[in-house]
Amino acid sequence: VEVVTSDRSSPSFVKEACDTLASVGFEPLRVRKEIDAHLADRLLESVWREALWLINDDIATTQEIDDAIRYGFGLRWAQMGLFETYRLAGGEDGMAHFIKQFGPSLQWPWSKLTDVPELTEELVNKIATQSDAQSAGHSIRELERIRDRNLVGLLRSLKERDWGAGAALNQYDKFLEKNADGDALAEEHAPMHLLDIAVLPAWIDYNGHMTEFRYTQVFSDTCEALLRRLGLHDEYVRAGFSYYTAETHTQFFDEVGVNERIYTTAQILIADDKRLHVYYSLHAGADDRVLATLEAMYLHVDLKSGRVCAADTDSLAELMRIARSHSTLPRPESVGRHVGQRKRRQAV
């Protein structure tokens, strides 16, 4: 969100506005001076003017212009912007070399940014006809859904790499973790409710159900969420310690389809200075049925030596508190189960 201030805007007011935007997941961008159209719209209009000329002069169609963007510089701009893209074009010598090499081309009559074609009825009809043909077969609502799914996929990829808009999402996640009410989130005498997500289209196999790999990913993400909740993730790893997976056992009970809500819980079975034994459950959001479970044993490791070591008492305070509350919970029936083991018979 572009934030435009004036001489009457106090620094504290501006900071409060930016902090408020960040607290709800936006990336505030301070605009140094008040100008028409601000930053993003001004840049977009420049591209729009050029595109209109290309169509007006019968050089390209709407689809060809869109293809030039989405198959070319649009991919680079989405994750590196304009100047960092050109910095790479300058090679090891950087931006100064790029400008010296390509700057003179700005004097060539390539663009018509200071002019715009007259939007005659003929030109408007040409653009509209080409646009209709380009999007044939898709309604506006379908195009909106396609756009949104693609944006989510791109953001997830950038988030995984902590880059561009993805870095902003990671910062927002850290903000939520920092400001979460620990007592409210860490349920007393109940398994910890961790993930609450929807099954994405990319997670579906040829049978129309979530793939085995995605079940594993959901449990892995749940483990990450658990360690963050316990204060044993990012900063703890930077301090040189972490938990390594020693053993897991997964059971699959039911299928789940695209866009269905799912959530996960975790019950701590054993916790001491070296071991963390956890039982995870994956549930359908609609009716709480169990879709899968995963039992895992983790070992506390010194990252420098790569060997198991004891964790200090202070680091484990929250873990041990929750472990004590979970010790009163019923033990899941399948804990300790091995592959191929028959279901235990109920006593008569």
What CATH number matches the domain at 35-132, 3.40.50.360, 1.10.1040.10, 2.130.10.10, 3.90.1580.10?
1.10.1040.10
Of the ranges 22-26, 48-52, 54-58, which one carries the lowest mean pLDDT score?
A: 22-26
pLDDT over threshold 70, residue 188: no
- How many other β-carbons are positioned within 10 Å of the β-carbon of residue 323? 20
Reduced to 3 states (helix: H, G, I; strand: E, B; else coil), residue 244 is strand
pLDDT, tens only, 94-106: 888 888 888 888 7
pLDDT, tens only, 239-253: 999 999 999 999 999
State the pLDDT at residue 157.
Answer: 86
Among 75-89, 119-133, 197-211, 254-268, name the most confident range.
254-268
Domain range annotation of the chain: 35-132, 137-179, 184-326
Q: What are phi and psi of 288, to 5 degrees?
A: 70, 10
Give the pairing type, strands 29-31 and 2-4: parallel
Paired residues of 83 in beta bridges: none
pLDDT over threshold 60, residue 192: yes
Closest CA to 227 of 207, 212, 206, 243: 243
Catalogue the E-assigned strands of 222-329.
Answer: 241-252, 261-271, 275-284, 290-302, 307-308
Question: Tokens standing for 343?
Answer: 């279901």
- If 0-12 CB within 10 Å is exposed, 13-18 middle and 19+ buried, where does residue 255 land? middle
Q: Which helix (H) or strand (E) holds 293?
A: strand 290-302
State the pLDDT at residue 183.
Answer: 44
Question: Which CATH architecture describes the domain 184-326?
Answer: Roll (3.10)
Q: Is 74 left (phi over 0), alpha (psi -120 to 50) or beta?
A: alpha
pLDDT over threshold 80, residue 32: yes
Global pTM? 0.61
State the pLDDT at residue 23.
Answer: 85
- How many other β-carbons are positioned within 10 Å of the β-carbon of residue 156? 14
pLDDT, tens only, 157-181: 888 888 888 888 888 877 776 665 4
Of the ranges 89-98, 174-183, 189-198, 221-230, which one carries the lowest mean pLDDT score?
A: 174-183
Q: Averaged over 67-84, what is the pLDDT?
A: 88
Q: What are phi and psi of 290, to 5 degrees?
A: -80, 125
Reduced to 3 states (helix: H, G, I; strand: E, B; else coil), residue 278 is strand
pLDDT over threshold 80, residue 44: yes
